[in-house]
Amino acid sequence: MDVFRIEGPVRLAGSVNVKGSKNASLPIMACTILACGESSLGAVPNLSDISVFGQLLQNLGCHVKRNAQGQVCINSTVIDNPIGEYEIVRQMRASICILGPLLARCGRAKVSMPGGCAIGDRPVDLHLRGLQELGAKIHLENGYIVAEAPHGLIGKDIFMGGPFGSTVLGTANVMMAATLAKGRTIIESAACEPEIADLANCLNKMGAKIRGIGSPRLVIEGVSQLQPIQYEVIPDRIEAGTFMVAAAISSGELHLKNCRIEDIMAVVDKLRRIGVTVESKGEGCIVARTGTIKPADITTQPYPGFPTDLQAQFMALLSLAQGNSVIVEKVFPDRFMHVAELNRMAANLRKEGPAVIVAGVKKLIAAQVMASDLRASAALVLAGLAAEGTTTVNRVYHIDRGYERIEERLNPLGAKIRRESV
Ligand code: EPZ
């Protein structure tokens, strides 16, 4: 198992290229199931989650490879085993987004029911309800979701809001299934995340008829078939936000290339309010901090609100603010595994239900810490950049799920991160 040894404090400066979006790539890889033939996807990041998803598609019967130009080519001509095995789903919950496209393409699908994970229970009831509304018969069998629609799916008006707002992958699943349903589907309270808009744009290029892209009301006219596609996924807004915090926490200045700041305006606004400058430059932006960090109150929300996937990273940053901040988690109310770890680094954080009170401290101090999930581990790396001494982050495989060789990209900017196998 790899660990990171991070020497701090450092100041980061220079340019960094933001990779393609993991969370756009995964459903877009799934949507190739809907067409027969070979699709090729550009800007798909080289991450362990992407490899696992490729394996999932291969098990269905697809051929998946990364070509010399770095594109992920998926040949979905044959799908003869519409089953998402437990062994893969337990590694990555996003596997659930093969359910909708498999059902639409094959008329049946069997996908392991995802369990909970470090960030909460994460039910999939809204995915299942949406597919049932389209006419699927669904039951549970030995831990597997078995879905059947032998005579095809039928368009319907569906409300997809849940207790915590819209659902990203639930919207992806139902939208993908609805592209091949008979008639019109309207999804109300659809997720508006840029990754869902990217998926919808990709589906339209494949021949789907989706309107209202980027809004909470998606109108989908079913078509009889879709074509394979060549498509380039959008830049990763969460990776961009993480690099922005890296610049801020290290009192540095970074030029982020390939970054759409319009996709993270809630984050940019927060940074500006706490004393970090963010200025557009070409296809990216410059992020810099010279003065102190001001405290801020943050509430995570579905897009366009502040993303839950940047909550942990901002907690690390606000730990060093001059004053008290409050962070409220409204998407995954239990997503606070990083709190105890940041406190080991001399942060002053107090959890109160779905909120954390962050009392700013003058400095963070290096410690041994444990990564618990992808974004929590990113927060620990960021804290390690600012902390005095050598921080050891254990279970680095979590960060490798979502950030491509992060140490090789931060070290040229001034970070001192060593990967060691222990
Ligand atoms: C996606 O997960 C992302 N994953 C997550 O990123 C991200 O944190 C999340 O959206 C929210 O933005 C991928 O895109 C692969 P949800 P998803 O369904 O779709 C509740 C990362 O670090 N809910 O939008 O699974 C749910 O419990 C990951 O990259 C139901 O109640 O999240 C939560 O409270 C982690 N019933 C809320 O909705 C359901 O059927 C939002 O979850 C589905 C969800």
Residue-wise pLDDT tens digits, 362-406 = 999 999 999 989 999 999 999 999 999 999 999 999 999 999 999
Q: Which residues contact 51 (CB under 8 A, 6 or more apart)?
A: none
Residues with CB under 6 A from ligand 1: 23, 26, 94, 120, 122-127, 162-164, 167-170, 195, 308-309, 331-332, 374-375, 402
**pLDDT above 90 as % of the chain:** 96
How many angstroms separate the CA atoms of 208 and 211, rounded? 10
Nearest to 19 by CA among 205, 237, 201: 237
Query: What pTM value is reported for the model?
Result: 0.98
Residue-wise pLDDT tens digits, 241-251 = 999 999 999 99
Please report the pLDDT score of residue 51 as a whole number: 96
| Mean pLDDT of the chain, nearest integer | 97
pLDDT of residue 115 exceeding 90: no
Pair 244, 276: CB distance under 8 Å: yes
How far, in Å, is the centroid of ligand 1 from the Cα of 387? 31
How far, in Å, is the centroid of ligand 1 from the Cα of 208? 24
Pair 320, 292: CB distance under 8 Å: no
CA distances from 296 to 192, 277, 345, 380 (A): 25, 15, 21, 20
Q: Whose CA is nearest to atom 42 of ligand 1?
A: 167
Q: Among the options 73, 117, 202, 285, which is catalytic?
A: 117
How far, in Å, is the centroid of ligand 1 from the Cα of 219? 22
How many angstroms separate the CA atoms of 116 and 18, rounded? 30
Pair 315, 338: CB distance under 8 Å: yes
- Out of 23, 158, 301, give the residue to mutate to test ligand 1, the one with the largest number of ligand atoms within 8 Å of its CB: 23
How far, in Å, is the centroid of ligand 1 from the Cα of 116? 12
Q: What is the 3-state secondary structure (H, E, C) of the chain?
A: CEEEEEEECCCCEEEEECCECHHHHHHHHHHHHHECCEEEEECCCCCHHHHHHHHHHHHHCCEEEECCCCCEEEECCCCCCCEECHHHHCCCHHHHHHHHHHHHHHCEEEEECCCCECCECCCCHHHHHHHHHCCCEEEEECCEEEEECCCCCECCEEECCECCECCHHHHHHHHHHHHCCECEEEEECCCCCHHHHHHHHHHHHCCCEEECCCCCEEEEECCCCECCCEEECCECHHHHHHHHHHHHHCCCEEEEECCCHHHHHHHHHHHHHCCCEEEEECCEEEEECCCCCCCCEEEECCCCCECHHHHHHHHHHHCCCCCEEEEECCCCCCCCHHHHHHHHCCCEEEEECCEEEEECCCCCECCEEECCCHHHHHHHHHHHHHCEEEEEEECCHHHHCCCCCHHHHHHHHCCEEEEEEC
Q: Is 192 a catalytic residue?
A: no
How far, in Å, is the centroid of ligand 1 from the Cα of 159? 17
pLDDT of residue 119 exceeding 90: no
Q: Whose CA is nearest to atom 9 of ligand 1?
A: 168
Positive or negative, the CA dihedral 65, 68, 70, 71 is negative
- Ligand 1 atom at minimal distance to the Cα of residue 94: 15
| Residue that is written with structure tokens 């798909």 in the block | 44
Please report the pLDDT score of residue 118 as a whole number: 80
Q: Whose CA is nearest to atom 26 of ligand 1?
A: 122
Mean pLDDT of 207-231: 98
pLDDT of residue 75 exceeding 90: yes
Mean pLDDT of 236-262: 98
Please report how the helices 311-318 and 237-249 are oriented relative to each other, as an axis angle in degrees rounded to 10.
10
Please report the pLDDT score of residue 122 as a whole number: 85
How many angstroms separate the CA atoms of 29 and 33, rounded? 8
pLDDT of residue 86 exceeding 90: yes
pLDDT of residue 212 exceeding 80: yes
Q: Whose CA is nearest to atom 14 of ligand 1?
A: 23
